[in-house]
Chain A
Amino acid sequence: MKPDGISGVQPEPSTNPWLSGLLIGIVGLYIALLLGIPVVNIFYQAFREGIPAFLQHLTERELLSALRLTVLTALVVVPLNTLFGLCAALALARRRFPGRALLLSLIDLPFSISPVVAGLMLVLIFGRQGWLGSWNLRVIFAFPGIVLATAFITLPFVVREVLPVLEEAGTEEEEAAKTLGANSWQIFLRITLPNIRWGLLYGVILTNARAMGEFGAVAVVSGNIIGRTQTLPLFVEDAYRSYATGSAYAAAVVLSLLAVVTLVAKELLERGSPSRRIF
């Protein structure tokens, strides 16, 4: 039972089957308790009364209108932040200047700010007692507020994915194209965009996943008006609190599928490229 240190020649570090088995077991148990079982539970709860009941919950009017609002929000936010992310990444990759690190940390800020605080900031601008409160803009408790809150939270993803790819690609190809007489648009479409397309796509997918799943920031600004300003994640909480567990889990399944699609896309996009951080 004690293979080590008897003969003087020790086995290689990773070949003790007892230790590796124990470590794998601990990790497996931890991940099962924390991630595996909760995920299985989502689908179990959603389908435990059968598929017809699930479909009935899925087609409730409130759920569908929440889904519509969530998709609509993503349709506005994702292009907006993609455009910004592209511009910012192009601008930041090509220039070194004092304050660049500061600007980068500013862009990263939404990753570390609590979503609730992000929502609070918008209330302080657009709310009734806020800076622009007297203008009576219908932002808080309305669609524009949901869009702004979501855009704030998802702002860094595209920049963060595109910037490293751009820096790695360098500028030689672009400069070569320029000497050959290509104009800026041609360079962008023929050289830059093909270089960054996978990073860009990944950034867009992450932006979309977070935009559709955002809860805290949207909860502060939306007012949670059923059928009007209730997004799908808000619907999940609301249904759970009103003991409509079936509806809550039907919506949860839709959002989980979004997560699955995101993870599969990540897996596919990472296959060709070196390991990439995700957060």
Chain B
Amino acid sequence: MQQAGFQLSWPWRLSLGYLFLMLALPLAALIAKSSSVGWAEFWRIATDPVALSAYEVTFVTALLAALVNGVMGTLTAWVLVRYTFPGKKLLEGLIDLPFALPTAVAGLTLATVYSSNGWIGSLLAPLGIRIAFTRLGVGVAMLFISFPFVVRTVQPVLQELEQEVEEAAWSLGASRWQTFWRVVLPQILPAVLTGVALGFSRAVGEYGSIVIIASSIPFRDLIAAVLVIQRLEQYDYAGATVIGTVMLGISFLSLVVINLLQAWGSRHET
């Protein structure tokens, strides 16, 4: 390709400069600070009991939420692609809401609705189930923000699926379940898992909605992101940095997994 001066040179310089200032420099600052802590100290802070329980609350709850949405999101995509029914447009419109609604607003309204005197929480309170200000609340907030990912990754794949294959399986005597497990699921699995990984990654980093719906008590419903802020508020920069670095590591890891899953998915397509 030719060296079109305008299109190649100054956009390049501008974007690389901007990326350096906005992304590389902050990233370097975090890594530099956390390496200045020293290995022994890093390990001590990173494996502090409060931190360990915060990872557990964050990662396990995020994983559970992502898996629930893996099932419900696939089901939602299926219903939206295969069936027509009144109110479908409304349902379709609501799906992307968690992408668009500011997380503080999500936290506010979830905390109200799921509190023990809220619309939904008051129905569960007599059963002894409390959601707001417990770990279940963290879970509900994570379900909310990670919901759209699976729907949006699975929906296009389902749309492309050739129904003739299903009909062939069907006419050869496969049952509804067999057709789904043996014919449909293998084809949409990469998309489902990509959506689960994206949702997990989003839920792990979530702060705004969770800080409002949770009580953030250590060993109960304190998440890693809130712990970072608590350490910062105590001017414990090293503590905040170490926990932030652990979270960053998990982000990188999920990014790698997501890329691998997407590569797997596109290999299936060809």
Contacts and interface: CB of A to CB of B under 8 A. Distances in A.
B63 to A, nearest CB: 15
Interface in B80-98: 82-83, 85, 87, 91, 93-98
Contacts, number: 292
Interface in B180-206: 198, 201-202, 204-206
A186 to B, nearest CB: 10
Given A38-B109, A41-B109, A88-B19, A14 B83 contact: yes
Contact of B29 (A84, A88, A109, A131): A131
B134 to A, nearest CB: 17
B91 A19 contact: no
A105 B27 CA distance: 14
Contacts of B111: 240
Contact of A215 (B26, B167, B171, B207): B207
A90 B13 CA distance: 12
Contacts of A255: 101-102, 104-105
Contact of B11 (A30, A88, A127): A88
Query: Which secondary structure dominates chain B's binding surface?
Result: helix
Nearest to A260: B100
Contacts of A4: 175-176
Contacts of A237: 104, 107-108, 208, 211-212
Given A13-B176, A124-B237, A215-B208, A39 B109 contact: yes
Contact of B247 (A117, A148, A248): A117
B244 A106 contact: no
A112 B254 contact: yes
Contact of B94 (A31, A152, A275): A31
Given A88-B11, A178-B4, A184-B7, A116 B205 contact: yes
Interface in A29-74: 30-31, 33-39, 41-42, 45
A117 B248 contact: yes
Interface in B4-35: 4-8, 10-12, 14-15, 18-19, 22-27, 29-30, 32-33
A107 interface: yes
A171 to B, nearest CB: 7
A114 to B, nearest CB: 3
B7 A39 contact: no
A119 to B, nearest CB: 8
Given A19-B176, A38-B113, A120-B228, A216 B19 contact: no
Nearest to A185: B6
B244 A31 contact: no
A18 to B, nearest CB: 11
Given A117-B30, A236-B108, A240-B111, A90 B11 contact: yes
Interface in A90-138: 90-91, 94-95, 103, 105-110, 112-118, 120-125, 127, 129-131
A112 B104 contact: no
